[in-house]
Structure 1
Amino acid sequence: MFKRLFWVAVGTIVGAIAVCKAQAYIKANTPDKARQFILGPDQDHVAVRTLEGLFSEFNATRRAREEELNARYVDRAQR
């Protein structure tokens, strides 16, 4: 269990470092138009926008599933 947790943590850290290095490379070595196409117009807050998008998508999916389960159990309780 601890080996698996260790390797998941190592993979997460390596992935985060790779993303940071790739974004820094893109910012340093591409023209502005290409950079805007890849990273969007707000190039300084790409990570924040990505996390906000993931969080809002997670919440929307969670709410939809919760409504589905509530409807299923209300129907079962009313029988």
Structure 2
Amino acid sequence: MFKRIFWIGTGAALGVIAASKAQSYVRANTPQRAREFVLGPDEDNVAQRTLAGLITQFQTVMNSREEELNRHYADRFND
């Protein structure tokens, strides 16, 4: 069990390091217009914008599924 936790943690840490190195490489070796096209005009907050978008999308899907289930079970009990 502890080996799995260790390797998952190690993989996550290496993933974060690789992503930050890749982002710094892109910043250093691409022209500004290309960086703005890929990363957006706010280059410093790409991770925050991505995480916020994922959370918003998750909440939207969760709410729509909850409404679908509520309608399904409400129709079952109303009949």
Q: TM-score, normalised by structure 1?
A: 0.89
Aligned residue number for residue 47 of structure 1: 47
Q: In 2, distance between residues paired with 1:23 and 1:66?
A: 37
Aligned residue number for residue 37 of structure 2: 37
Deviation at 1:35, TM superposition (A): 0.7
Q: Provide the secondary structure at the position in 2 that maps to 1:41.
A: coil
Using the aligned pairs only, state the percent identity: 54
Deviation at 1:78, TM superposition (A): 1.1
Q: In 2, distance between residues paired with 1:12 and 1:57?
A: 23
Unaligned runs of 5+ in 1: none
Change (3 A) 1:5 1:69: farther
Q: In 2, distance between residues paired with 1:8 and 1:72?
A: 39
State how 1:1-79 maps to structure 2 within 5 Å: 1-79=1-79
CA RMSD of aligned residues (A): 1.2
Q: In 2, distance between residues paired with 1:76 and 1:2?
A: 46
